[in-house]
Structure 1
């Protein structure tokens, strides 16, 4: 059954009067203890804040260990839930999706970006939905940014020689060339260096004005600092890896990054942020994505109850108002809208880049 023919009517009915006889029961799957437990705590905070009296949450721990998926699926099924959200670890999905699909329990992951779980789910028809951006979303936004703002600029593409960095730079280069754009200069630099003097010489010789570097924050900080010291007026662009903490060198003001916005400062997050703050809790990390996942599961259950569609069907092509904005899943169970956006480092934080050189 397709959700499309009755989508609008179902949405109106669902929000006007819920047909649920009892609150939806949702499993919140997140790690406990140690470093990963801190991330799990964020998810649990957000999920609780969003649930209210509209959902009964069952907190389940994911061990993030190889082979843990089947046991986790048994725990989820035994809990008698209608949906499961969270899932910060890829190993939790391996072996769990098939039995959860048989039990008609859709899964909304808030943290897994790896391509293989979604590829497997689509191939087998498993109801896995990804609230985290897909693996190509960042690269697509980087490519779009360069094409939009640097088409008439002499630009360089850099990578640090690691597999991920090189793959990103190569993907962007190929995508740009299909659109008729070629970099003036490409290069691989040595990462984790205290200075990047030789790289500065190569960039100066190439006469570029704009540089995309598939680099982490520490390397970008050194590169941008040394360019400033060398008197090279370069515009630097990086990816989501720049959204991290400073190491030895601080990131220079003005560096651009394709990353996700700070959800806590978005208007749609206000209610959850204030609710958590009232209890002395923060809405950082996975808190708001988890809140969004719970809201989506609740609203989809109401649509399902009013329309007769399966819960998984109600998740497709349906707009949901959440703490991270309007969310809709495509037929491929990915986000309809790319969450990555162009941001600029102010010296203290990333803010939306209103103007771009």
Structure 2
């Protein structure tokens, strides 16, 4: 028997030689079909359809199931997928529906590949209960890990602050960064919080001024960082800011300044997709946005495994394979986690975030 990576190389080479037989996989798509999130469900369908058009291949069937982001829809869709005899389910955009579906689908031997759910606890539960859980989405804790690494690389020789907006998300992100930094011998010069959603932040500006910091990590949303950056600049402070994935959001009234750093999901970067995938989406007349690229990558992974699939061995194939995709190499551990970091450091330059390709200290 060939080692799985060798088999995968052979399969991909065979596909490149000419049209192949239809992928013998029935794929369930757990997506919002109605309501305000229905466009996200359509993006998942788009990603699979573009892959099929690009490769001249198709799955045996794409079975859609409603994901309303609640436990009830998770149970109902899982039951419908089992009755339809699907081999794998892709989707479940919310933790509530995913957590409800996993026990039922795992009992039927049907793996689930999520594109969006990041909560670390789900992977821990899946491991504890032996659920068949895999994800392309980055786990939440990777955001803090990449941020801490970036601070060490760029700011270790400058006084810096960690501030957060008092929300659970902001507070937990900053605390995880602080712990990681201090475990590696680097302490922030100033730690503080602020009240979010304010039109001005004068008291925070005074505290940052008194602390004498040059760099500030903001655990909060884009609009708050924009206000803080505006007010500190007006006060004559020359500060560089960094934030998390929350900065990758629609622009507000106040702009964020050029040079603002952000740890954001890699697949949201303008150069994330390979040139061949970009060409495939362009040919289909679709922008690469939202869930289209992750869905396309999921189709690539499953499509490459289909010729080797036998009922019940898909999890083993996923865990042992290394897949060349539009996002680069993708592989999964025995815990179902994607082994490559799904976050990257980016810089706001002239109206968009661009990947930071080096970690040279800033002046």
Say yes or no: TM over 0.5.
Answer: yes
1:244 and 1:21 map into 2 onto residues whose CA distance is 39
Equivalenced residues, count: 352
Aligned to 1:334: 337
Q: 1:318 aligns with which of 290, 305, 321?
A: 321
User: Is the contact made by 2:8 and 2:305 (CA closer than 8 Å) also made in structure 1?
Assistant: no
Tell me whether 1:242 sits opposite 2:234 in the alignment: no
Aligned to 2:4: 7
User: Is the contact made by 1:263 and 1:288 (CA closer than 8 Å) also made in structure 2?
Assistant: no
Query: Residues 309 and 302 from structure 1, CA distance in 2 versus in 1: closer, same or farther, beyond 3 angstroms?
Result: farther
Tell me whether 264-273 or 133-142 shows the greater mean CA deviation: 264-273
User: Is the contact made by 1:263 and 1:324 (CA closer than 8 Å) also made in structure 2?
Assistant: no
Give secondary structure in 2 for the equivalent of 1:35.
coil
1:125 and 1:20 map into 2 onto residues whose CA distance is 33
2:312 and 2:78 map into 1 onto residues whose CA distance is 23
1:270-285 matches, cutoff 5 A: 270-285=275-290
User: Is the contact made by 1:257 and 1:343 (CA closer than 8 Å) also made in structure 2?
Assistant: yes
Q: 1:183 aligns with which of 179, 185, 188?
A: 188
Tell me whether 1:86 sits opposite 2:91 in the alignment: yes
Aligned to 1:61: 66
1:23 and 1:44 map into 2 onto residues whose CA distance is 18
Tell me whether 75-84 or 209-218 shows the greater mean CA deviation: 75-84
1:90-105 matches, cutoff 5 A: 90-105=95-110
Unmatched segments (≥5 aa) in structure 1: none
2:300 and 2:355 map into 1 onto residues whose CA distance is 26
Give secondary structure in 2 for the equivalent of 1:132.
coil
Aligned to 1:300: 305
1:1-357 matches, cutoff 5 A: 6-17=3-14, 23-52=24-53, 53-55=57-59, 56-261=61-266, 265-266=270-271, 268-304=273-309, 310-354=313-357, 356-357=361-362
Deviation of residue 270 (structure 1)? Answer: 3.2
User: Is the contact made by 2:155 and 2:361 (CA closer than 8 Å) also made in structure 1?
Assistant: no
Query: Residues 223 and 21 from structure 1, CA distance in 2 versus in 1: closer, same or farther, beyond 3 angstroms?
Result: closer
Deviation of residue 21 (structure 1)? Answer: 7.9
Q: TM-score, with normalisation over the residues of structure 2?
A: 0.90
User: Is the contact made by 1:264 and 1:270 (CA closer than 8 Å) also made in structure 2?
Assistant: no
2:97 and 2:136 map into 1 onto residues whose CA distance is 16
Deviation of residue 326 (structure 1)? Answer: 1.5
2:284 and 2:185 map into 1 onto residues whose CA distance is 54
Unmatched segments (≥5 aa) in structure 2: none
Q: TM-score, with normalisation over the residues of structure 1?
A: 0.91
Q: CA RMSD in A?
A: 2.3
Give secondary structure in 2 for the equivalent of 1:203.
helix
1:232 and 1:162 map into 2 onto residues whose CA distance is 26
1:26 and 1:153 map into 2 onto residues whose CA distance is 51
1:297 and 1:20 map into 2 onto residues whose CA distance is 14
Deviation of residue 92 (structure 1)? Answer: 2.0
User: Is the contact made by 2:112 and 2:133 (CA closer than 8 Å) also made in structure 1?
Assistant: yes
Give secondary structure in 2 for the equivalent of 1:25.
strand
User: Is the contact made by 1:14 and 1:302 (CA closer than 8 Å) also made in structure 2?
Assistant: yes
Deviation of residue 272 (structure 1)? Answer: 3.5
Tell me whether 57-66 or 339-348 shows the greater mean CA deviation: 57-66
2:28 and 2:182 map into 1 onto residues whose CA distance is 45
